[in-house]
Structure 1
């Protein structure tokens, strides 16, 4: 079970760190996607910081602070539930797989943290 926990959490860390970096770099596609669902460009750095904090918290959880990892996973679940809700509210479904996929990773990480953490 520990190996599955490590794999799921490492994939979630990489995915969230990567998307946070993309949000900071502000290429055209994320700007267009966020505008389409009504998120102003000025929010992107803050949203990127939340994703990066979630990734950092998961990493610290792997490195021996399990409750921080669980808290980070919980925060990412809440973040991506919000992202999915924004997509549903805006009726933007052509790129719905992205927030839903990140939500799936966050839920899997939270489940793994809860099963493995003391």
Structure 2
């Protein structure tokens, strides 16, 4: 079970880290929806920082489990907020995208709690 946790945790951290990087770099596929949803541009760096810190926390959690648990919970809450934002914006076809980040993080959290 340990090896599964490390693999899933690493994949989840890389995936969330990629999301943070994409927002810092203002990649078009990230910023266009944020504009459509009405997310203020002044929030973007804070949101990117939250994702990046969450990804780093998932990795630190390999060594300090309580940090990994806190990071996973934070990242899950972050992306649940993203789900709510897509629903509020009535962009139902894009609601799946934040869910794609929640799933591996939730799996890593479950594996960590069972190890």
- TM range, smaller chain: over 0.9
Q: Distance in 2 between matches of 1:94 and 1:52?
A: 25
Q: Distance in 1 between matches of 2:74 and 2:43?
A: 17
**Aligned match of 2:5:** 5
1:83 partnered with 2:88: no
**Aligned match of 2:70:** 71
**Aligned match of 1:40:** 40
Q: How far apart are 1:3 and its partner, in Å?
A: 1.3
Paired residues for 1:1-118 under 5 Å: 1-62=1-62, 64-116=63-115
Q: How far apart are 1:112 and its partner, in Å?
A: 1.6
Q: How far apart are 1:94 and its partner, in Å?
A: 2.3
- Find the residue that maps to 2:32 and give its secondary structure: helix
Which TM-score applies when normalising by structure 1? 0.91
Q: Distance in 2 between matches of 1:29 and 1:55?
A: 20
Between the two proteins, the alignment pairs up a number of residues equal to 115
What runs of 5+ residues in structure 1 fail to find an aligned partner?
A: none
Summarize deviations over 1:17-37 as a string: whole Å, max 9, x none. 111111001122211111112
What runs of 5+ residues in structure 2 fail to find an aligned partner?
A: none
Q: How far apart are 1:59 and its partner, in Å?
A: 0.7
Q: Distance in 1 between matches of 2:51 and 2:60?
A: 14
Q: Distance in 1 between matches of 2:60 and 2:94?
A: 31
Which TM-score applies when normalising by structure 2? 0.93
